[in-house]
Amino acid sequence: MYRVNAVKLAVDEKADERPRGVNEVARTVIVRSAPLPRRTFRAFVELEGMYRNMVEQLVLYAVNNNVTKFTRLKAEKYREVRSLYPQLPSHYAYTACQDAAERAHSFLRLKRMGRARKPYPEVRSVSIWLDDHLWRAEGLTSISMTTHKGRLRVSIELSKHFLRYVNRGWRLASEARVKLDHKERKLTLYLTFKKEVSEYRPKSYITVDVNENAEAVLIDGVVYLFETNLSKVTLGYYYRRKRIQEKYDRAYGPGSRPARRVFRRLSNNEKALKREIRWKLATLIVRQAARRQAAIVLEKLGKEPASHMIERIKNLQLRHRIFQAAFKGVQRAIDEKAREYGVPVIYVDPRNTSRVCPIHGAEIIYGKDRHGVCSRGGETWHRDVVACYNLLLRALGGDGGSAPSRLRALIPVDGGPVPLGPTAAHEPTLIARGAWARWRSLGATSDHKLMRVSA
């Protein structure tokens, strides 16, 4: 076991005079309605048809005239689409302009990158955008919507997820979207909850070093290595795609429709798996930080590479960039989760964080298995442990980097008493994905588990 046993790194709280930010956090929650009576549902189907028609016309106009801004689209087309359906509340023409502007914007962007397959965007699935004039919540169990048939009331199925936001002080925002489920005669509502969260002043730090297959996290002087296998997932899917491509190309010729379908499914699976890994781990780390009123320290990464780079993975450099992209995803998840909990996040310069001994400042000579020896002290280090400690030192303002203003360690680390026991094995505690992935569902017991691992 590996922990700080000589000196506790402490922070002079008064030295940190950064203004503490207040963030607005928004989350979309999906709620379903009870099955609607035929007549009511028919009214919604009519509404959907009119809305779709407005959006289609607006998108066509926007793409032809290179309009990507809602304000311009509204100025040029609102009157016209408004007059198409005088029986419809006017705000539908307004939200249709917002909807269309966003569609045109993302289509034109794809087109610029040469990735648009069709000359015009298809308005395939429609969700009707609502604003505060078009709907309101009636208590917790129903909503009402203004339509061409007057105000229609719809009761919604309460879900645990929905109630959790209500109970935790989130407020329901006025913007919402609604989609029709024609098969079950239900509405699917996309509601937005918002909350203002202010950052606390950190009492300590949790540093996170992300690498290809694990995230190393320094908590209370212990480095945990949470296995993610992100590169294995990425490469695994890459080789599967390649195998399938060869098979389909032989059978149907290159770029066939069935091949594209299989590819789409595979890449959806890959995305979903990665997203789950990222969010679970982000939640775990952020909760630990919030409990300790700690700030999270992350490496400042460079610009994000395009995701289609993945197709040419052979090149080593590209491979590196792809994994950088994956790291960015991990960081984004932590950042977003942190905002929700008011956890401050600090980005520091990542240069050489795993090359220099955090005690002696001398270079570490690495052999295999991510292990190295300090060229001055001769002690053995695990690469991720080194990185975590150096990130901490940088956050404390120990060396250069882009450390926050005037944070400093009360007790000097380099030179003086060492934070790490010289005889300790500088080894992180590895926690397999199968183990930590279950923690969230166990909720309150996660901390207990973390204690047990470190014991």
In the complex, which residues of this chain contact Zn ion (CB under 5 A)? 357, 359-360, 374, 377
Per-residue CA distances from 339 to 219, 288, 290, 380 (Å): 19, 14, 11, 37
Query: Least distance to Zn ion from the beta carbon of 11, Å?
Result: 23
What 8-state DSSP symbol labels residue 297?
E
* Cβ distance to Zn ion smaller for residue 345 or 357: 357
* Cβ distance to Zn ion smaller for residue 219 or 357: 357
Cβ contact 132:91 at 8 Å: no
Query: Least distance to Zn ion from the beta carbon of 360, Å?
Result: 3
Cβ contact 187:40 at 8 Å: no
Query: Least distance to Zn ion from the beta carbon of 392, Å?
Result: 15
What 8-state DSSP symbol labels residue 57?
H
Query: Least distance to Zn ion from the beta carbon of 364, Å?
Result: 7
Burial tier of 263 (Cβ tally within 10 Å: 0-12, 13-18, 19+) = middle
* Cβ distance to Zn ion smaller for residue 209 or 379: 379
* Cβ distance to Zn ion smaller for residue 35 or 377: 377
Closest residue to bound Zn ion by CB: 374
Query: Least distance to Zn ion from the beta carbon of 362, Å?
Result: 6
* Cβ distance to Zn ion smaller for residue 326 or 357: 357
* Cβ distance to Zn ion smaller for residue 106 or 375: 375
Cβ contact 89:134 at 8 Å: yes
Closest CA to 428 of 209, 231, 204: 209
Q: DSSP letter string over 90-125?
A: THHHHHHHHHHHHHHHHHHHHHHTT---SSS----S
Neighbours of 299 (CB within 10 A): 20
Query: Least distance to Zn ion from the beta carbon of 359, Å?
Result: 4
Copy the structure tokens of residue 406: 């005037």
Query: Least distance to Zn ion from the beta carbon of 17, Å?
Result: 33
Cβ contact 369:327 at 8 Å: no
End-to-end Cα, the chain, rounded Å: 8
Q: How far is Cα 415 from Cα 359, in angstroms, rounded to an integer?
A: 7
Three-state DSSP state, 237: helix
Copy the structure tokens of residue 197: 């969260």
Per-residue CA distances from 441 to 11, 253, 291, 343 (Å): 34, 46, 18, 22
* Cβ distance to Zn ion smaller for residue 295 or 374: 374
Query: Least distance to Zn ion from the beta carbon of 18, Å?
Result: 32
* Cβ distance to Zn ion smaller for residue 360 or 371: 360
